[in-house]
Amino acid sequence: MRPRRIGADLRIVARGYYRNPAALFFSLIFPLILISLFGLIFSASGSGPVTLEVLNEDSHSALAAQFLSALNNTTIVKVQVVPTASVTPSGFSAWLGQQGDPVGLVIPSDFTTNVTADRPVNLTVFANPQDAAAGGEALFAVSGVANAFNLAEAHGTPVIQVPPSKGVGSEIYSYIDYLIPGLIGFSILTSPMFAMVETTSSYRKEGLFRQLTLTPLTRGEWLASRILWYVVLTFGAAAIMLGIGVGVFGAHVSVGLGILPFLLVGPFFFVSLGMLAGSVAPTPESAAVIGNIITFPMMFLSGTFFPVSEFPSGLQTFAHVLPLYYVIDGMNQVMLFHNLARASTDLLVVVVAGVVVFLLAIRLFRWRDD
Amino acid sequence: MADAIEVRGLVKQYDGLTAVDHVDFSVPPGTVFAFLGPNGAGKTTTVEILEGLRKRTSGEVRVLGLDPWSDGAELHRRIGVIPQDFRFFEKITPREGIEYYRALFDSRADPDALLRLVELEDKQHARYDQLSGGQKQKLGLALSLTNEPEVHFLDEPTTGLDPTARRAIWNVIRTLKQQGRTVFLTTHYLEEAELLSDRVAIIHHGKIIAAGTAAEIIAAHGRGTRLRFEAPPALAEYLSRSLGVAARSSPGLVEVDLEHPRDAVRVLTAAEESGLPWTTFSTAQDTLEDVFVRMVGTMDDGALKGEVPT
């Protein structure tokens, strides 16, 4: 592996790309359209007030009663007080899950004490990831009333704080949050797979690999420059989706260094897989078919658009053999659930699979004929 | 000094079909070798084996002392190749392509000089998919020169090109020859072979049917000097009868084979004595093309099948 040759080849790839509008469309504009479309669909508000189950731990306080009455007056939510005897705050999330309408609010027992003493207090909103609109509306109403109370009662000091809501049964708060790792995974899959299958089979048909055989460029270097290029495109696509998802649709995801390994290893795996698929196929037409057979199940069954946990158990088992599942699950663990241990396991699966596919791709693929 | 290319008993079979059948030849360094043959004769298979792009079935092959298949990587640094149907990346310009090859080969070749040599300076910033057939081929030539190779393989470099582009490529081949480089050229243009090459080999049905300089091949396989008359067929009969020479007629034309050029005097005298109305006469000699067409044609007619003329 010589960096100079990889660099030279990377320049050729990049030029071919930005001089080909169709390729750029699929890699960057398509993610933009996807995130905008899904964001618009799933952040649209429903009709009528949302029933908000309230666990009022501070039930003897006039201030808490005023707060709930103000919430009702917003007409966005309809407050329904849960008897404190039947549920504990720690079991509230699970209890909501058993009810049909799981949007909830907990007012802690020290609510009044803290507000009167100008000490910060947290109001926790619980929402169902499957009902993003209801969760969003409830959070909106609670935050609005909290702001009004901060102005009136605490003289403008923001003592009543409404942190991002907690999920019912999990930490997920809205569908768009869930969608961001899914759509990043979608573009990690589709952008290299479709392009590499096409490139590999058409290069072979047009004799471009034979042309490259006559140069010192090795198959490993050729593949490495493509991997680097799709890492660049993946960063671009991820930035677009995060920018629009967070900036326009108010998604709550943590964007940290934790997702970087997935943005590197994901393209590494799928570029190699695309080359392998394109090289075992005898013609460009059959390559496209093989590419689609590999790509389409993964596109929908790896947790791109719907959480795998919502699948019937047979399909869940199937999802667990799809490499993209581990890329998306890993990013979910990092961005939503903060479960770095599980993210590391996911990453390891993708790295091992990637190394195997990379080695297979450069070993099985012949640039010369026997 | 060892030969730049040595081939002994080369055989290539595809699924029981023999594409190259016990071929032997060698190319001394600094010479231009033309490999001729009709389409499907085994030219490209042979050249691809020499370039290390195709594995041979059996036989000995050495290019610059290397085995092209097993020492491919080392060989490719020292040879330059234009494959038949040269293709390149569609969106890349000639200058970018040359820069790319320079980086791959760690070469110091001057891109401007290369572009000037192949006469592609005015198109250096045009993308490959906008170049004409001749310009694409010139790019292929420039790329094949980037690593300053010792041996050049040009597989039908001028097929389908207009005369101007063809001449430009010929000029480059002459320049290479002047620089003392070895050139292996396959072509089905006999004129090209005669004009550029030191030595020629003709391959047909996978076998070499003639080899040597163009003059040697013509002498060995040509029909010698002929005398041609514009005359009625009766003249051919008269000359055969009176002189015992081989004379043929085609409409309006009579052709007499001469064993020696000075026999022309005798034939002309006899023609004058015949009293038949002949007008102009001329002498004719076989070109390489005549020899080629006749050898390949007669073999295909079955007359020479199975034989290997040398």
Query: A73-87, B150-164, B216-230: lowest mean pLDDT where?
Result: A73-87
CB B202 within 8 A of CB B299: no
Q: Give residue B309's pLDDT.
A: 38
What is the number of other CB atoms lying within 10 angstroms of the CB of residue B50?
26
Chain centroid to CA A220: how far? 31
Task: Give contacts of A370 with chain B, Cβ < 8 Å.
Answer: 54-55
B163 burial type by CB count under 10 A (0-12 exposed, 13-18 middle, 19+ buried): exposed
Q: Which of A340, A199, A140 is nearest to A259 (CA)?
A: A340
Instruction: With CB atoms and an 8 Å threshold, state whether A368 touches B90.
Output: no
> Whole-angstrom Cα distance, residue A233 to residue A263?
10
Are the Cβ atoms of A214 and B53 closer than 8 angstroms?
A: yes
Within chain A, which residue ranges are assigned CATH 3.40.1710.10?
Answer: 50-167
| Chain A residues with beta carbon closer than 8 angstroms to that of B155 | none
> Model confidence at B301, in pLDDT bands (50, 70, 90)?
low
Residues of B in Cβ contact (< 8 Å) with A229: none
Q: Please, which pLDDT band fits residue B69 given cuts at 50, 70 and 90? A: very high
Q: Is A307 exposed, middle or buried (0-12, 13-18, 19+ CB in 10 A)?
A: middle
Nearest neighbour of A12 by CB, restricted to B52, B72, B89: B89
Q: Is A15 on the interface with B (CB under 8 A)?
A: yes
CA dihedral A6, A10, A12, A17 (to 10 degrees): 160
- d(CA A75, CA B200) in angstroms, rounded, equals 96
Mean pLDDT of chain B: 90
Domain ranges of chain B: 5-220, 223-284
pLDDT tens digits, B110-149: 999 999 999 999 999 999 999 999 999 999 999 999 999 9
Residues of A in contact with B85 (CB under 8 A): 207
Instruction: Just give the CATH number of A50-167.
Output: 3.40.1710.10
Chain A residues whose beta carbon lies within 8 Å of the beta carbon of residue B104: 5, 8-9, 215-217
Interface touch B55/A217, C-beta < 8 Å: no
Query: B18 pairs with which residues across the strands?
Result: B13
| pLDDT of B244 higher than 70 | yes
Distance from CA of B234 to the nearest CA of A (A): 58
pLDDT at residue number A171:
38
Amino acid, single-letter form, for residue A70: A
pLDDT class of B300 with cuts at 50, 70, 90: low
By the CB < 8 Å criterion, does B134 face chain A?
A: no
Q: How far does B177 lie from chain A, in Å, by closest CA?
A: 22
**B285, pLDDT greater than 50:** yes
At B91 the pLDDT is 94
| DSSP track, B218-249 | HHHHS---EEEEE--THHHHHHHHHH---EEE
Token pair recorded at residue A2: 């010589």
Would you state the structure tokens that stand for residue A64, as one six-digit string?
A: 């808490």
What gap in Å lies between CA B235 and CA B254, rounded to an integer? 7
SS3 B191: helix
CA gap B99, B128 in Å, rounded: 14
Position A161 scores a pLDDT of 64
Is B87 within 8 Å of A208 when comparing Cβ atoms?
Answer: yes
- What's the whole-model pTM score? 0.75
What value does the mean pLDDT take over residues B240-265?
A: 85
Tell me: pLDDT of B302 over 60. Answer: no
Q: How far apart are CA B97 and CA A12, in angstroms?
A: 8
Q: Mark yes or no for CB contact A213/B53 under 8 Å.
A: yes
Write down the pLDDT at residue A158: 63
Please check whether residue B80 is in contact with residue B151, taking contact to mean a CB–CB distance below 8 angstroms.
Answer: yes
Contact list in B for residue A16 (CB cut-off 8 A) is 89-92
Nearest to B35 by CA among B217, B214, B188: B188
Contact state of A208 with B73 under an 8 Å Cβ cutoff: no
By the CB < 8 Å criterion, does B58 face chain A?
no
What is the C-alpha to C-alpha distance for residues A222 and A218, in angstroms, rounded to an integer?
A: 6
How far is B293 from A288, CA to CA, in rounded Å?
A: 45
- Identify which of A5, A217, A368 has the shortest CB distance to residue B54: A368
Are B101 and A213 inside 8 Å of each other by CB?
Answer: no
The residue ranges of chain A whose pLDDT is under 50 are 45-46, 167, 169-173
For residue A333, which of A259, A240, A222, A264 has the smallest C-alpha distance?
A259
- State how far the alpha carbon of A141 is from the alpha carbons of A41, A73, A97, in Å: 21, 10, 21
Considering the domain B223-284 in this protein, what is its CATH number? Answer: 3.30.70.2810
* Lowest model confidence (mean pLDDT) among A151-160, B165-174, B203-212: A151-160
Angle at A354 between CA A352 and CA A356, to 5 degrees: 70
To probe the interface with B, which of A10, A214, A366 has the most B CB atoms within 10 Å? Answer: A214
Residue A183 and residue A35 in contact, taking contact as beta carbons nearer than 8 Å: yes
Lookup: tokens for B149: 């190779």
Q: Write down how long chain A is.
A: 370
Calpha distance A253→A232 (Å, rounded): 22
Which of A197-211, B70-84, B145-159 is least confident? A197-211
Q: Which two tokens stand for residue A202?
A: 């058409």
Q: What is the pLDDT of residue B20?
A: 95
- Other CB atoms within a 10 A radius of the CB of residue A255 amount to 16
pLDDT at A172: 39
- Is the pLDDT at B88 greater than 70, yes or no? yes
**Contact yes or no for A369 and B54 at CB 8 A:** yes
Residues B21, B22, B28: CA angle, nearest 5 degrees: 120
Residue type at B44 in one-letter notation: T
Q: Which of B54, B55, B104 sits opposite A215 (nearest CB)?
A: B104
Mention every residue, 6+ apart, whose C-beta is less than 8 A from residue B260: B225
At residue A179, φ and ψ (nearest 5 deg) are -70, -30
A152, A153, A154, A157 alpha-carbon torsion, rounded to 10°: -40
The answer to whether A138 and A51 have CB atoms below 8 angstroms apart is no
For residue A109, how far is the Cα from the chain centroid?
A: 35
**What is the dihedral angle through the alpha carbons of B238, B243, B246, B251, rounded to the nearest 10 degrees?**
-20
Q: Residues 215-244, chain A: which have Cβ within 8 Å of B?
A: 215-217
A283, amino acid identity? T
Which run of H or of E encompasses A361?
helix A340-364
Contacts of A17 (CB under 8 A, 6+ apart): A23, A24, A27, A229
C-alpha B217/C-alpha B193 separation (Å) is: 12
Q: How far apart are CA A110 and CA A117, in angstroms?
A: 11
> How far away is chain A from the Cα of B84, in angstroms, using its nearest Cα?
10
Report the residue from A12, A216, A369 with minimal CB separation from B76: A216
Alpha-carbon span B47 to B153, nearest angstrom: 7
Of B88, B104, B127, the CB nearest to A216: B104
C-alpha–C-alpha distance, residues A326 and A342, integer Å:
10
The DSSP symbol for A310 reads G
pLDDT of residue B208: 94
Does B86 contact A at CB distance below 8 Å? yes
Tell me which chain B residues have a C-beta less than 8 angstroms from the C-beta of A9: 100, 104
Which two structure tokens, joined as six digits, stand for A208? 């471009």
Nearest-neighbour CA in chain A from B305: distance (Å):
29
The answer, for B51 touching chain A at a CB cutoff of 8 Å, is yes
Determine, for residues A19 and B127 on separate chains, whether the beta-carbon distance falls below 8 Å.
Answer: yes
Cα distances from B90 to residues A12, A19, A146, A361, B84, in angstroms, run 10, 10, 61, 24, 17
* Burial class of residue A268 in the structure, from the number of CB atoms within 10 Å of its CB (0-12 exposed, 13-18 middle, 19+ buried): buried
pLDDT attached to residue B1: 57
Domain B5-220, CATH among 3.30.1360.120, 3.60.70.12, 3.30.450.20, 3.40.50.300: 3.40.50.300
